[in-house]
Structure 1
Amino acid sequence: MKEFSSYGIAGARVDRIAKNAECNKNLIYIYFENKETLFTTVLQKHLTRVYEEIDFTPEDLPGYAARVFDFAMTHPDLMRLMAWYSLEQKVGSLTERASARDKKIKAITNAQSAGQVGTTFTPGFLLTAIMALATAWSATNPFGPSHDTDAAKMPSETRDAIAKAVSLIIKENRSEKKT
């Protein structure tokens, strides 16, 4: 995790990983075949942990956004690892990540059908907006930390503001319904 979150796939060195893990470099290649598979395995392991630790609640999307914010702020290595994955998309697709996304979109669709979430925005747009807001102040985001330098000093207030913003985004726009 440390090697890949610091250097990405291209910059990571299997010899450093082997040295830090106190194992033989060749054994890493025998088990994982290549550096990309090792990276994907590390990322998938940590994303699985995220899916288990952060309950997705379509009936409480502001609460979900607050939990994602807390996680992003306390796990900068994972946020960097995800940033490297996004930058170096040459590795294989993460089917579990796509599956988790699809389940969330379906849950939002169902919440919209049940009237729990407004329909002004599509489920995919809502999920993207929620994740963008919830992770905007993480160390890897080029805007949040540099544009709102006080947010890191006031995580509780920032979390509350994110939840409020999500609450406003998911509300039904009544003026659009009338037209």
Structure 2
Amino acid sequence: MRNAEATRERILEAAMAEFSAYGIAGARVDRIAKNAGCNKNMIYIYFENKETLFTTILQKHLARVYEELTFTPDDLAGYAARVFDFTMKQPDLMRLMAWFSLEQKADSPAVRVAVHDAKVAALLKAQSAGQVGTTFPPGFLLTAIMTLATAWTPANPFGPSLDPDAAKDPATLRNAIAEAVRLIAQGNEETRS
């Protein structure tokens, strides 16, 4: 049993590298098997097909993200800073997410949709309690936060290529992102008072 689990983990590790580099369409099961040190048939036994393997990897890593990054609607700037730190250290995951978005081979995993909906609901509740400004709808606000927090990851077409010097000082960049999120989250509320 231990050997089977070890083989499965080697497949997942090799597949993560393959999919993050080539996407679903460009990934090759032969390369995954070779890099995992197993027979190609083992991949089909464990995962049925390449798309299921991709979805398994995506769900595994998203579950880790949701576990490690607690959403804090009462501290959106802090949340954005934590997302920034996490994603800058996870270039393979960010490329995997980019490939998922580009190829749209499958529906978004149910857990991703559920977590997103819970965050939007928490933002709406925070807005109703006066903790977060109401200038922007919660869905837009969440998208803006995630976009800012991940703008300088290697998979983003803007931050790294248009402003590469910013990433040379990650602490300053992190603080700028947190401040931008703080201002967006407060909205026009402060200026109206």
Q: TM-score, normalised by structure 2?
A: 0.89
Q: CA offset at residue 163 of structure 1?
A: 0.4
Q: CA separation of 1:53/1:164 partners in 2, compared to 1, >3 Å: closer, same or farther?
A: same
| 2:108 aligned counterpart, secondary structure | coil
C-alpha contact 1:40 1:92 (8 A) present in aligned 2: no
Q: CA offset at residue 170 of structure 1?
A: 0.8
State the one-letter code of the partner of 1:139: P
- Counterpart in the other structure of 1:110: 125
Choose from 58, 66, 79 the match for 2:94.
79
Runs of 4+ that moved beyond 4 A: 175-178
Number of aligned residues: 178
Further displaced range: 90-99 or 160-169 = 90-99
C-alpha contact 1:112 1:118 (8 A) present in aligned 2: yes
| 1:59 aligned counterpart, secondary structure | coil
- Greater RCO (CA < 8 Å, at least 6 residues apart): 1
Contiguous gaps of at least 5 residues in structure 2:
1-15
CA distance in 1, matches of 2:161, 2:29: 33
C-alpha contact 2:127 2:133 (8 A) present in aligned 1: yes
Query: How large is the Cα RMSD of the aligned pairs?
Result: 1.4
C-alpha contact 1:37 1:91 (8 A) present in aligned 2: no
C-alpha contact 1:135 1:141 (8 A) present in aligned 2: yes
5 Å-filtered alignment, 1:1-179, equals: 1-174=16-189
Contiguous gaps of at least 5 residues in structure 1:
none
CA distance in 2, matches of 1:93, 1:149: 31
| 1:72 aligned counterpart, secondary structure | helix
CA distance in 2, matches of 1:85, 1:160: 29
